[in-house]
Structure formats: structure tokens, C-alpha cells
Chain A
Amino acid sequence: MSTNQKQYVVFRIDKDEYGSDINKVTVIERMLTITRVPKTPPYIKGVINLRGDVIPVMDLRTRFGLPEKEADDDTRIIIVEVDNISYGIIVDSVLEVIQLDETSIESVSGFVNNVSLDYVSGIAKSDTRLITLLNLEKLISELVTV
């Protein structure tokens, strides 16, 4: 493996494929019971019990302005950790773990996407697929600074 290759967890939300740096992913869980927390932004679905730890969960569909979808057998919660903060993201399904070469990642400037460019760290091309790489720090920056 060359040094400029990185592993990414690829998941699907609606019709699009997204990726997250595997080093930031703690664990992937099936859908769990979520307890709603009042006074939070709509995209915070609530908190879950992850083996004794209480962890907030974000619905990426709501975050990206997509219509809500009932959880099904494929729905997963990906638990990530950035800057010592753990949180979960709800995705429609988790597809695979792939290796991406840094050269295949393009910066987002000049792209027009339905995702606000703020939380996109780059777009990766793998064969014919386009994978939007998420910036997990940016996803929660709004909450952390408040």
C-alpha cells in the first residue's frame, strides 16, 4: 500500500454515496432506540445508549435537507469521534470500505452540489462512482461553538 492511500467508509444517503475517513469511525451500529432531546436543532435526532455511553445522533438526511425516511433493515448509525467528541450519524446504508488514492480526490471548489459545500472535504472518483467525502468536524461545528 502506498503511503498516500487512505481508507474510507462509504455509505449511502438517498441516491448519493458519501465517504468518511475510517480512522474517525469508532463503530457501525444497526438502528437503535433514540431518545429525543428538546431544544436541539432538528437534525439532532436525540441520544442513544451505546453500551452504557450516552451519545448524540445526527440525521444526515435532515442535515442535508432531504426528505425523512423510515428506518429499515439497512439503516445504520455510524459512530464517529472527532476532537474527543463522539457522535453518531444516521445513514441509509453502509456500502463498503474502500482505499482511495489522494490523487483521486478533488477539492470541492467549482463543484455545485446539493450538499452545502461546508461539510464536504472533497470529491473522490473511484471507477465511475463519485463519492462525497464528509468533513466530520464541520458537521458539528455549529453545535460546538454555541
Chain B
Amino acid sequence: MDMNKYLNIFVEESKEHLQDLNTSLLELEKDPDNTSILNEIFRVAHTLKGMAGTMGYAKMSDLTHKMEDVLDSLRNGKIQISPDVVDVLFKCLDALENYVENVSMTGDEGDEEYSEIIKFLSGISNKNNAVHTTDIHDNKTAEKEKNGDLRLELNIYDKNVIEKAFEESLNVYEIYVELDQKCLLKAARAFIIFQILEKYSDVIKSVPSVNDIEDEKFDYYFTVMVISEKEEEFFTKELASVSEVRTVEVTKLTRDHTENFKRKPDSDKKQAHEKEKKVKHGITDSSPKSTEKRITAKTVRVDIERLDVLMNLVSELIIIKTRLDGIISDDRDRECAQTLENLERVTTSLHDSVMKVRMVPIESVFNRFPRMVRDISKELNKDITIHMSGEETELDRTVIDEIGEPLIHIIRNSADHGIEKPEERISKGKDKAGNIWLRAYQDGNNVVIEVADDGAGIDIEKVRKKVLDKGLESEESISGLSDEEIIQYLFQPNFSTSDKVTDLSGRGVGLDVVKTKIETLGGSVELISKRGQGSKTIIRLPLTLAIIQALLVMVGTEKYAIPLNSIREIYNVNPEDIQYIRNQEVTVLRDTVIPIIRLHDVLDIDVKEPDTNKKQLTCVVVKKGEKLSGLIVDSLINQQEIVIKSVGKLLSNIRCIAGATILGDGNVALILDVNSIV
């Protein structure tokens, strides 16, 4: 059985199910009497068990099985939901997550047994288990009763074969094998047994038929008839050594038996038939559930690479459209212009649709945080509530995949450093429970994610001291820095103000990692903090990564693209309005002092001769977070949709360039990285 092609689906779906379980379990913790949540948990756990079983992950399925037992007891009211039980169930989920993680990395579930958890689970569901075992017992005795006669009926052909065997003084055995009820891959087990049998004997008959056994269409037992020269004991021993075999009964056939066959009523057959039916029923029972779920979801799983290909093609199309636009812009008749407009409409909506396909609600990232915050607050003995909003905000899939880690860092920081201990909070006159707000919303072409807490805030003085200690600023220069500028130091590598390093944070590898990660995604991070009132981290991310609106500008003889989402406004400055503050050119825009950056200098472009006739300078005001800067350019060309292309590995180290794009005339224009210029 080749399971590899199902591996990805298994991993994906398991992750989803585990996430569901996490969410439901959290709800259950808050609302222990809600049976519908419990039922939901039970259902998902059951599906998970089935999936793990089918894939042959015995440990995983065993663990879910135990979990199911506990859930069942909960459902039947045999045990009450207590914090202990919930904790163990959460631990189960973690263990299962580890299994799935292992599976996704290596294709194997790993060796971890989590016997502690299993023991605990069994402890909880003891009562339930007792019932379970008697069930099995009953079953077994029922089987035994039938044992007096042979289970198999033989047709004439079989009989002839047996007769012949007797003539050759070979032994004929009827072997009854019962597998352990916990056995997951019954078919595989049976296959092993058959292999052993075939090695030492000729199998002449099997009930259920070999085909059915291979298709797993049997309960936990089957009977075979074999011819062999070996002794009875040999088979008993060989087969019993196969693991997960509960009973092996080998009956030696005599001529009497063969006589018996003739008049054997087929009641057994009927029974077997009914059993089979039941089994089949069991299968169909569970399948509508899963299909039902699929119907409600109405989704198709598509490999992200395929979407990338589609995206690239759309990009190409847009380039060609822009090019076409450029070629016929000079003398276009009405019809041509109209067709071009239509084309533009189509390409724009095509682009939008492809983008939308790649968009995933941020919920998939957010929904792991309640669980995380719960764990952290337990660990730190803090009382923390997390409030989330805007989970439906959508982001590009590639961004979603990357944003989880940085957010975990930030939330951990808030929970560990930010929120104070309950006693401390009370003494400060705050509510005993700390709050963390996680908020996502769309702002133009950006998606903003805010993580705020009502904790202690950042101790600016402590940071100042640390900056001095590390020799990053001199005594003199630091006094000139504002609190905001001091906070920026937190984003430096190896900069931690925490007195002690905890499991969660404080190693000083946090915020700089967050910053680099988000900047590689084309976003920005900002940290605002009020001592005693809490802090707020604001992450801005671009909606799309591949195609953006940009303003094309002329600097010297070169064309550059500035992403439109970083442009605040454009205005003309009179040269005499430019003043100097500490050797930095600045100008005043509506009472705000903004630094002036001459792109000629940044981009090493020769200014042939200063155009003295020109009265005014064109200034493109760009924003980086809340900070504004003015970029001086020679002239503006137009606003245009551009496709971002990488400049390749060779030039990836150039700071001021975010990428390149191909213009309508086929030439390349560079995209300015506003974040690194200002």
C-alpha cells in the first residue's frame, strides 16, 4: 500500500482537525456543560483516529483512542470535566501535534510513546475501560460456542483436495485466527499471517475470502483451511508469535470432518454474512459524515506552486498590456482605445481574482493564540485574557505562512514582560486579569496587525541604561534621543532588558528577528509604549507581494518606481524653504518638520548642472510607519501597476533597491526600498 501520496493530505487535515480540537476544547473549558461542543470534540477525535489508523500510525491512533475513551466517559457523565482532565486533553493535542509534525518531516510518527499521558488517560477512563473489556469478553465467548464444529463449509472441489491430501498423508488444518481489537491495520496483519501460512502450507480456503480480507472487509477474525506436513503445534507457535494476534486455534481435520461438511447448515454463513454487512455498514456510517463536512466547506486544495505559476502568467499578461498601451498611445483611434480599455479591465480583474485565490483569512494564524496565551498564563501564574478581532482580514498565503512566528514572539513578550503578576496589578489599581488585544484590519493596500497589552509597558529608563551599558550611545548623545528613538534599540540584535531569561522570552533574540522577518515580507514594525499602561506593537504588511501600484519618477536620466502605498503626498518645495538641522536638510510641511532626502545622492546619480531656472523642487513625501520623509526627484512620470521582479541573488544585498520591474518599453526600472532609504 503506497500511502505516500496521501501523506500531505493527512498532514494538512490532521492539522486542521487538531486546530478544531484546540478551539473546541478552549470553549469547553469555559462552558463545561455544553454537550454539543463535547460531541463535536468527540467527532473530530474519532475522525483523527480513523485517519491515523488508516495511515498506519499506531501510536497516534492509540493515543486518540484513549482520548476518545475519556471523551466518551465525559459524554456519558461518568466523569466530570475538571481542570485536570482539560489539561490532559490539551497535552494529548500537543502530543498529537508532535506526531503530525514528525510525520510531515520524516513521514514517520516517531518513537515518542507519551506513556505518561496514556496512563493518565486510562486512569481517568477506568470505569469506561472496564465496560469495554467485558464487551470484548462477551464477544469472545460467543465465538467459542461455535467452536465445536468446524467453521468452514467445503464444496466438492475442496473436499477432493482434502481427500487427496489425506491420501498423501498430509495434514489438513482449519486455523482460526482472531486479531487484537486494537489492531489497526487488520488487512496488513492478516497479510503477514497469510504469508507465514503460505510459506509452510497450501491455503485452500479462507472465510472471509482472501480478497475481502485484503480489503479489510472482515471483523477481527478469519478462518483458513490449509494443507501442510507440519504439526499442529508448529502453526500455533508461528502464528501466535505475530503481534496483535489474540487467539490462534488450530484444528486438525479428520475424515469425519469431511463427511460433516456435506450436511453442515449454512447458518454460519448467514451469520458471517450479517457480520460482514455490519462491517460494511460501519464504513458507510462514517463516510457520509466526512462528505458532509466537505460539502459545507466547498473548497479545493491547490498546491501553492500552481497558484504561483498562474500568478506569474498574469504578471506577464499585465506587462504585455502595459507595453501595448505604450506602443499605441501615440495615435490611437477610438476603437483601439476602447479595446485596450477592455483588456485593461479584464487583466485587472484577473489579477484581483488570482490575488483573492491566494488570500487566506488571518484566522488560521490567530486561532492558535488563545491556546498559547492560556498555557503561558498557567505557566506564569498570571491571569491573561486575549481579545481578538478582525480574524477575517485576508492576507496573501505566503505572508500568512511567515507571519505566525513573529506574532508568537510579540504575544509572548506581552504575556511575559508586559502583563504583571495579579498581585502587582491589584496594587497598581488595575484589574486583576491582564488583557492582550490582537487586532487585524485592512488599511488601504496594507494589512495592519496590532498586538496591544495593558501591562507594565516598556521601562524606557532601563532601556536607556542598557544602551549606555552596551556602549551604543554616549552619555551625551543619548540625552538628545526621544523615547521613541530609544525604543528602536529594542529591535537591535542581542538586546534584552529582561533581568532573567525565562523559557518564554528574554534571550534578546526576539524583536530583531521579528523586525527582519517582517521587513523581508515588505512590511514594517512599530512599537509604542506608555510606562505603566502597556505597549502596542503595530505590524504593517503589504496586501500583495507580486503586483503593486507604483509612482514612476525621474531622477537624473533614470527611472525609478516608488511603491504607492508608502507615498503620503507629493508637493513642491521652494529651495529657500529648506533648512538645516544638524547637517540634515529639513522642510516644514503643515507644521511638521520632515527630513529631505535627495535621491541623487542616495542613488549616486550625477547632477550635471544644478538647474537654477527651476524654481521649485518636486518632493515625494513617503511614510515609514508614522515617520515622514521627503524624497527629492527631478520629475514625476505616472502612476502605474508594476510587477515586482527580483534582481537576482547577485544584487540582493543592495539596500536601497526593493526589486525591479519591467516597463512598457521593455526596459527595467528599479523599485526603491523606501524603508531602507529614509
Contacts and interface: CB of A to CB of B under 8 A. Distances in A.
Interface string B139-164: 00000000000000000000000000
B558 A47 contact: no
Contacts of B662: 49, 52, 54
B181 to A, nearest CB: 54
Contact of B647 (A52, A56, A140, A144): A56
Given A39-B654, A49-B667, A85 B649 contact: yes
Contact of B650 (A36, A52, A53, A56): A56
A85 B648 contact: yes
Given A40-B654, A47-B668, A49-B666, A54 B646 contact: yes
Contacts of A54: 645-648, 660, 662, 668
B197 to A, nearest CB: 55
Interface string A23-53: 0000000000101111110001011110011
A56 B656 CA distance: 16
A47 B655 contact: no
A47 B649 contact: no
Given A47-B668, A48-B668, A54-B668, A36 B649 contact: no
A112 interface: no
Contact of B656 (A35, A39, A85): A39
**Looking at B319, B605, B650, which has the most chain A CB atoms within 10 Å of its CB?**
B650
B45 interface: no
A11 interface: no
B651 interface: yes
Contacts of B670: 35, 37-38, 47
A38 B645 contact: no
A54 to B, nearest CB: 4
A32 to B, nearest CB: 9
B97 to A, nearest CB: 35
Given A54-B660, A86-B648, A38 B667 contact: no
Nearest to A48: B668
Contact of A87 (B602, B603, B648, B668): B648
A143 interface: yes
Interface in A59-76: none
A37 B654 contact: yes
Interface in B638-652: 645-651
B388 interface: no
Contact of A39 (B604, B646, B650): B604
B654 A47 contact: no
Interface centre among A36, A44, A54 (most CB of B within 10 A): A54
B443 interface: no
Looking at A38, A48, A146, which has the most chain B CB atoms within 10 Å of its CB?
A38
A22 interface: no
Contacts of B646: 54
Nearest to B665: A33
A55 interface: yes
A87 B319 CA distance: 22
B58 interface: no
Given A35-B558, A38-B603, A52 B651 contact: no
Nearest to B645: A54
Interface residues of B, number: 26
Contacts of A39: 604, 654-657
Nearest to B667: A33
B650 A87 contact: yes
A85 B647 CA distance: 11
A58 to B, nearest CB: 9
Interface in B615-667: 645-651, 653-657, 660, 662, 666-667
B651 A47 contact: yes
A144 B645 contact: no
Interface string A68-110: 0000000000000000111100000000000000000000000
Given A33-B667, A49-B662, A54-B668, A38 B647 contact: no
B569 interface: no
A35 B316 CA distance: 20
Contacts of B656: 38-39
B669 interface: yes
A54 B668 CA distance: 7
Contacts of A144: 649-650
B553 to A, nearest CB: 14
Given A37-B657, A38-B604, A39-B604, A56 B651 contact: yes
Contacts of B648: 47, 54-56, 85-87
B631 to A, nearest CB: 14
A37 B657 CA distance: 8
Contacts of B645: 52-54
Contacts of B604: 38-39
Nearest to A143: B650
Contact of B667 (A35, A53, A55): A35
B349 to A, nearest CB: 22
A89 to B, nearest CB: 12
A101 B404 CA distance: 56
A140 B673 CA distance: 24
Interface string B37-73: 0000000000000000000000000000000000000
Contact of B668 (A49, A140, A146): A49
A56 B648 CA distance: 7
B651 A37 contact: yes
Interface of B: 316, 319, 558, 602-605, 645-651, 653-657, 660, 662, 666-670
Closest 7 CB pairs of A and B: A35-B668, A38-B603, A54-B660, A54-B645, A56-B650, A38-B604, A39-B654
Given A49-B666, A54-B662, 14 more contacts: A33-B667, A38-B603, A39-B655, A39-B656, A40-B654, A47-B660, A49-B668, A52-B316, A55-B648, A56-B651, A84-B649, A85-B648, A87-B650, A143-B651
Interface of A: 33, 35-40, 44, 46-49, 52-56, 84-87, 140, 143-144, 146
24 contacts: A33-B668, A35-B668, A35-B670, A37-B654, A37-B670, A38-B603, A38-B657, A39-B604, A39-B654, A39-B657, A40-B651, A40-B654, A47-B648, A48-B668, A49-B668, A52-B316, A52-B319, A54-B647, A54-B662, A55-B648, A56-B648, A86-B648, A143-B651, A146-B653
